[in-house]
Every structure is written in C-alpha cells, then in structure tokens.
C-alpha cells in the first residue's frame, strides 16, 4: 500500500493506492463520517485483481480542510475536485466503488464521463427514493424548514454515540473492530468540522433531487453494476439495492448480514463477490 498526496485545484488531496497499474483501475469513493481508511481491509484483498485508488474528499480524512470562507461545501463542489483528481493522476477508465456519500459524488462524475466507467460497485450507495430509510422523512422536513435549531439538532449525526451506532447497528456482536469508528470520532474534533458537515447534511437534498438524473444515466448507458448491501442498514434500506433492477435488468444484487458499514464485518465476503463479478 502506498499513501500519496497530490495538488488538485490548490488543495492537497490524500489517497491510498495499491495493486499494479497494469490491472484495471478501481476508484473507491468513501462515505460519511469516514474517509479512505474505511477501505483499509478491502484494498489488500483486491490488489491482485485491480489497481486500487481511494482518495479522501476535501474536509475529510487526511486531505486539506479549506475554510468555509474559501470553499463552499456542497456535493457538486466535492465531485468537481474528485473529478479533477482523477484527471491529475491520469486515470482514463475505471471501476467505481461507491458507498454512502460516495454514491452522489461518484454518480455525478459518471454522468459527466460515462465513457470512463467500466462498472460500478454500490455498497449501501443509494440513488433511489425507495432506498431512503425512515430517518430521511425528518431530514426532508428540515430541508423545507431549515431553522437554526434543527441545524444544531442534526449535529448529533456526528456525535460519538451516533458514529459508533452507524458502525455497529445490524451487525453480529463482536464483529466490528473499534479502529474505524475511533478514527472517525477523532476527525470530528478538528476546526469547523461541525459546520462543514452541517453544510453537507443540508446540501444532501440536492442529491435526492438528482436521483432521476442518476437513474437516467443508468438506463442510457447500462453500466455493469453490482449492488452489495448490508441488509440491516437503517439509513439506506435494501429496497435501494433492489431498485437498480428497474433500470439495469442485468444488475447483480447481494445482501450481506451487516449494517451500514458492512465492510467492517463482511469484508472478505464482499471482496469475494467483487472478484467473482468483475475480476
């Protein structure tokens, strides 16, 4: 494994890389409240089959955290930075692995450059209204009526208790290492973190508005797609995985016995499914 940094539009973007460049490239798009470290176990399992690259978004992990005065934290802007990152590191075609926030970021890039995408692995990476769990009903009300009080209330999304719950809910007892959520909790202590993430929680409404466009991309270009989903995820429920079949009849759907961060407890199973599907 190599740990690299590269300048992209004036920002230093950190990324992990492993596997031979002679193999097909796979770019891994992490989720909230995590970073590329969520792929720390998966990447070595796939390195004999793929050239793997996992960047940290601006404001996440080890990448630069530009001030909110200098960078507007929206999914559009993050996707632009990661799109430029892909250009800077000279990747012309790639598989993309999308999880959570990685789905709206990755699908924006796929819509812009459909010729670059070799295939898609969606691991609890939702692009369908059917996949939105119960909590999103309250979020939708917040988006309609964005009071200061509700903005403060939604900062509970990155409290230590919530982060631990994201990792462990729906998993077998003792199956999730504390390493991942402990690092994520550490990252929440950095300057402006709460306001940066609050900006993105509010902007998530624009991802939902783009769902029809993401689906149109799937129908038009028919990329190979594997949805491998933690079936006990309360945020993005299994119906989101099954919905891919509406636009991609050949999509492969697998539900594993885990929750939102299913790599934490089912990494070997997921790696095996990916190899059988794409390698």
pLDDT tens digits, 142-197: 999 999 999 999 999 999 999 999 999 999 999 999 999 999 999 999 999 999 99
- Structure token pair of residue 233: 């995820």
- Residue 275's pLDDT is 97
Q: What confidence category does residue 254 fall into, taking pLDDT thresholds of 50, 70 and 90?
A: very high
Angle (CA) 269 125 228, round 5° = 25
Which residues are tagged catalytic?
Answer: 260
Q: What is the mean pLDDT of residues 88-115?
A: 98
Q: What confidence category does residue 135 fall into, taking pLDDT thresholds of 50, 70 and 90?
A: confident
pLDDT digits (tens, 9 = 90+) for 44-60: 999 999 999 999 999 99
pLDDT digits (tens, 9 = 90+) for 264-277: 999 999 999 999 99
Q: Which of 44, 12, 6, 10 is CA-nearest to residue 28?
A: 44
Q: What confidence category does residue 117 fall into, taking pLDDT thresholds of 50, 70 and 90?
A: very high
Report the DSSP pairing between strands 117-122 and 225-230: parallel
C-alpha span between 125 and 234 (Å, rounded): 13
- Residue 133's pLDDT is 87
Residue 122: is its pLDDT beyond 90? Answer: yes
- Residue 279's pLDDT is 78
For each of the domains in the chain, give its residue range(s) and CATH number, in order of start. Answer: 2-278 (3.40.50.1820)
pTM for the structure as a whole: 0.97
Q: Give me the chain's average pLDDT, please.
A: 97
- Residue 255's pLDDT is 98
pLDDT digits (tens, 9 = 90+) for 198-217: 999 999 999 999 999 999 99
What is the DSSP track for 32-86?
TT--GGGGTTHHHHHTTT-EEEEEPPTTSTTS----TTT----HHHHHHHHHHHH
- Residue 267's pLDDT is 98
Q: Is the dihedral of CA 101, 176, 136, 192 positive or negative?
A: negative
Residue 119: is its pLDDT beyond 90? Answer: yes
* Cβ atoms 183, 174 nearer than 8 A: no
Rg (Cα) of the chain, in Å, rounded?
17
Q: Which of 104, 95, 106, 99 is CA-nearest to residue 125?
A: 99
C-alpha span between 111 and 215 (Å, rounded): 10
Q: 160-168 and 178-187 are packed helices; what angle lies between their axes, rounded to 10 degrees? A: 150
């Amino acid at each position: 494994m190599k740990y690299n940094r590269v300048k992209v539009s004036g920002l230093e973007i950190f990324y992990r890389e492993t596997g031979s460049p002679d193999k097909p490239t796979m770019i891994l798009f992490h989720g909230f409240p995590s970073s590329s470290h969520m792929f720390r176990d998966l990447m070595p399992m796939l390195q004999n089959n793929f050239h793997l690259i996992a960047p940290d978004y601006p404001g996440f992990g080890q990448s630069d955290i530009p001030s909110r005065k200098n960078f507007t934290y929206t999914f559009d802007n993050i996707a632009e930075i990661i799109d430029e990152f892909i250009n800077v590191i000279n990747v012309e075609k790639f598989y993309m692995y999308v999880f959570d926030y990685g789905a709206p970021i990755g699908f924006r890039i796929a819509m812009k450059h459909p010729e670059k995408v070799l295939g898609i692995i969606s691991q609890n990476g939702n692009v369908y209204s059917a996949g939105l769990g119960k909590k999103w009903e309250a979020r939708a009300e917040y988006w309609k009526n964005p009071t200061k009080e509700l903005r403060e209330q939604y900062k509970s999304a990155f409290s230590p208790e919530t982060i631990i719950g994201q990792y462990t809910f729906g998993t077998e007892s003792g199956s999730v290492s504390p390493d991942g959520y402990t690092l994520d909790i550490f990252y929440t202590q950095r300057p402006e973190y709460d306001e940066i993430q609050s900006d993105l929680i509010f902007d998530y409404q624009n991802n939902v508005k783009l769902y029809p466009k993401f689906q149109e991309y799937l129908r038009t270009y028919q990329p190979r797609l594997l949805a491998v989903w933690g079936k006990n995820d309360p945020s993005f429920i299994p119906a989101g995985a099954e919905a891919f079949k509406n636009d991609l009849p050949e999509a492969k759907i697998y539900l594993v016995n885990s929750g939102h961060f299913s790599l934490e407890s089912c990494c070997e199973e997921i790696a095996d499914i990916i190899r059988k599907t794409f390698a």
